[in-house]
């Protein structure tokens, strides 16, 4: 998030270009219309006041109107998790992992998830796929030969 520039966004078409992401490669990822709307509101109503007349080109600014550092983004995530009373260790990477896991659970093809995450190999993406005991019970109930008797 700290490296995203306003020029990397295409709110009209709903995508973000991630520059020098995984493997130092650029990639394009979709953004939902809801998130595009929130970003548009931020760009029109919040960011101008935060920039204090200085234009850095970065999307996320700190209170001084300059680029927010990765450490500052991490601190915001930690604070939000604490305020939400989430006891697990939440990091910026948690969002990436959770998104990939939910997309897979909702039926997204793992190959598409691989592209969105910017992984060169499918093996890297498979690490993100968390199988829960509920998943195992569902598969067991659906496919185990003894369940259909």
Encode pLDDT of 26-52 as tens digits.
899 999 999 999 999 999 999 999 998
List the domain range (segments joined by +) for residue 119. Answer: 91-149
- Residues in CB range of 44: below 8 A, 6 or more apart: none
Placement of tokens 């659970």 in the chain: 105
Give 136 or 85, the one with higher predicted confidence.
Answer: 85
- The pLDDT of residue 82 is above 80: yes
Summarised one tens digit per residue, pLDDT across range 83-117 is 999 999 999 889 888 888 888 888 899 999 999 98
- The pLDDT of residue 119 is above 80: yes
Confidence (pLDDT) at 22: 63
Q: Do both 99 and 145 map to the same domain?
A: yes
Specify if 78 maps to a domain: no
Specify if 82 maps to a domain: no
Confidence (pLDDT) at 148: 67
Give how many domains the chain has, as a whole number: 2
Q: Do both 149 and 97 map to the same domain?
A: yes
Give me 54's structure tokens: 């200085």
Q: Do both 64 and 99 map to the same domain?
A: no
Q: Do both 5 and 60 map to the same domain?
A: yes
CATH of residue 2's domain is 1.10.443.10
Give me 61's structure tokens: 């600014």
């Amino acid at each position: 998030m700290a490296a995203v520039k306003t020029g990397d966004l295409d709110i009209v078409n709903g995508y973000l270009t991630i520059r020098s992401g995984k493997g130092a490669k650029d990639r394009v990822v979709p953004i939902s219309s809801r998130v595009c709307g929130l970003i548009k509101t931020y760009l029109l109503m919040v960011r101008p006041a935060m920039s204090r007349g200085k234009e850095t080109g970065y999307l996320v600014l700190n209170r001084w109107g300059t680029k927010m550092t990765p450490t500052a983004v991490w601190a915001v995530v930690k604070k939000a998790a604490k305020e939400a009373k989430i006891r697990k260790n939440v990091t910026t990477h948690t969002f990436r992992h959770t998104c990939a896991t939910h997309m897979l659970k909702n039926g997204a093809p793992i190959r598409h998830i691989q592209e969105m995450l910017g992984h060169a190999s499918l093996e890297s993406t498979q690490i993100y796929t968390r199988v829960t005991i509920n998943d195992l019970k569902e598969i067991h109930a659906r496919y185990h030969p003894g369940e259909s008797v």
